[in-house]
Amino acid sequence: MNRKRKSRRNRRRKPVLPYILGTVFLLVAVVFSVKGLANNSASPSPTPSQTVETPKPSQAPDETPSIPTAPVITPEPTVDTGFETMTMKQDDIYQGKLVLINASHHYKFIDFENFVCLYNYKTDSYKVGDYDILFAEDAVPPLNRMLDDFYYNSGVKAVMAVSGHRTYEFQQYLFDKEVALVGAEEAALWVAQPGASEHHSGLAIDFSVYYDSGEYFDYDGTGDFAWINENCHRYGFIVRYSPDKQDITGIGFEPWHFRYIGIPHATKVTELGMCYEEYIDYLRDYSYENPLSIRTDEGEVYDTYFCEGLKVYVPKNSDYEISGNNVDGFIVTVKGS
């Protein structure tokens, strides 16, 4: 018993100070620990995976915060092809220097044609058979250049322009006269029916030969004059009716009949050895995305293509010309750089 009491007494007397100091130390440690956690949560330091955003210049401190809105979807920009479209009129298909005119595709007459009196505009290198021969205004300078160069090269001043623009009525007169002479079947081979003649357009011209001595010949494109038939494409003309294409053109060989279609196309028609009917069909294979390239004898480069119907593609940044084909669409000719 006593021992028990003694032992209780001894326990009570154990030193108290180490307990107090230990408790205080623990309290201080807990307080500092809690304070440290509080500081950490107030200013977290970035971990490597976090992105630190620097303020953008536009974000001024006093700027009103923008209200979040639904995202705006910007459409993808369409690919710029360098072309734009034009909508032509139906009547435009029948106009222009590239129109095909034959028995199947008659010329469509319009009220105001750009014809000029050839006698007033011609140079001294050739003659005209009549004072009132009319010719398309745009085709006169190329005609003058061609016959000036011929005269310069040959010294022969005997080419005589004998027929340019013809009215429907005059073509009727010529056709009827031929029928009376050789019969309808033969006449159709040499004189186009009214409406079917290229002469209506003012873009075709016939030559004869007339020397100052008074001698007069049909023009056959041989001898001195072969130079004209071989080089006319360099001036924008083609020999429209060649002997090997009679089954397509329906017209016999006419070495005296020249049609103006401009230098690039005259060059290509000659290079391909086609008649104009074939060439108009050939161009159908070429679009603005896949144009036909033409290089003239003088080294100028053109692209050309066909547009069916009334919607025509034209380049935004290049010079171009549009002509109807007198059938079903337009031919665009683009000058290269």
- According to the binding rule CB under 5 A, does residue 234 interact with Zn ion? no
Distance CA 107, CA 281 (A): 18
Task: Compute the least distance from the CB of residue 279 to Zn ion, in Å.
Answer: 18
Pairing of strands 292-295, 301-308: antiparallel
Over the window 253 to 272, marking each residue x when it contacts Zn ion by CB under 5 A and - when it does not, the resulting string is ----x---------------
Task: Compute the least distance from the CB of residue 100 to Zn ion, in Å.
Answer: 15
Residue number of the CB closest to Zn ion reads 257
Residue 210 or residue 330: which is nearer to Zn ion going by CB? 210
Task: Compute the least distance from the CB of residue 262 to Zn ion, in Å.
Answer: 18
Compute the Cα dihedral for 132, 109, 123, 242 and give only its sign. Answer: negative
Distance CA 272, CA 261 (A): 15
Please say if 198 is a catalytic residue.
no
Distance CA 252, CA 260 (A): 19
Q: Identify whether the C-beta of residue 134 lies closer than 8 Å to the C-beta of residue 122.
A: no
Catalytic residue among 63, 230, 254, 277: 254
Residue 196 or residue 312: which is nearer to Zn ion going by CB? 196
Residue 143 or residue 283: which is nearer to Zn ion going by CB? 143
Torsion of CA 76, 80, 81, 85, to 10 degrees: 100
Q: Which of the ranges 61-69, 252-260, 264-272, 313-321 carries the binding residues for Zn ion, by CB under 5 A? A: 252-260
Task: Compute the least distance from the CB of residue 285 to Zn ion, in Å.
Answer: 30
Residue 205 or residue 263: which is nearer to Zn ion going by CB? 205
Over the window 182 to 211, marking each residue x when it contacts Zn ion by CB under 5 A and - when it does not, the resulting string is ------------------------x-----
Within 10 Å of residue 144's Cβ, how many Cβ atoms?
18
Q: Identify whether the C-beta of residue 295 lies closer than 8 Å to the C-beta of residue 274.
A: no
Determine the size of the site formed for Zn ion (CB under 5 A).
Answer: 2
Distances (CA, A) of 261 to 83, 99, 229, 335: 24, 9, 15, 15
Task: Compute the least distance from the CB of residue 294 to Zn ion, in Å.
Answer: 26
SS3 198: helix
Tokens of 259: 């049609």
Residues in the chain: 337
What residue type is assigned to position 62 of the chain?
D
The DSSP H or E segment spanning 180 is helix 168-182
Residue 127 or residue 257: which is nearer to Zn ion going by CB? 257
Task: Compute the least distance from the CB of residue 111 to Zn ion, in Å.
Answer: 24
Residue 258 or residue 330: which is nearer to Zn ion going by CB? 258
Distance CA 123, CA 157 (A): 11
Q: Which of the ranges 52-60, 107-115, 250-258, 302-310 carries the binding residues for Zn ion, by CB under 5 A? A: 250-258
Q: Identify whether the C-beta of residue 236 lies closer than 8 Å to the C-beta of residue 261.
A: yes
- Residues serving a catalytic function are 254
Provide the binding-site residues for Zn ion, judged by CB under 5 A.
206, 257
